[in-house]
Amino acid sequence: MVDSIVSVRMPSSLVQKLKDLAGENHFLDVSEEVRSLIKARIRFYTGEGAAEPEANEKEKSAAKQDYKTENVVRKELVKKLKKMIKELENGKN
């Protein structure tokens, strides 16, 4: 296997997040974290085994956090509940 050095420009916020993840995952530096992420993505896209459990959990939670849809659903639910309360109050009177 041939080793290569690759230089990548990233926003400072992304670098900081990678540093935090590297510490959490007990890697010595950011490059190990990046290699780990790349390997997980390769396995995911090629279908060779399951992606790392943590990666799956993060992807699922990110997919579920569609805030715009969530807010629309909540507003609609609140409208329906208010309507039901009014109907119940009117039915008792």
Q: Which domain holds residue 19?
A: 10-51
- Residue, of 78 and 60, whose pLDDT is higher: 78
pTM (predicted TM-score): 0.47
* Residue 75 is assigned to a structural domain of this protein: no
For 26-54, the pLDDT digits (tens) are 888 898 999 899 999 998 888 875 545 56
Core vs surface per residue 66-92: b (16+ CB within 10 A) or e: eeeeeeeeeeeeeeeeeeeeeeeeeee
**pLDDT per residue as tens digits for the range 64-76:** 556 677 778 888 8
Distance CA 43, CA 88 (A): 55
Residue 32 resides in a domain:
yes
User: Does 64 map to a domain?
Assistant: no
Whether the per-residue pLDDT at 91 is higher than 60: the answer is yes
pLDDT at site 61: 60
Instruction: Let me know if residue 84 belongs to a domain.
Output: no
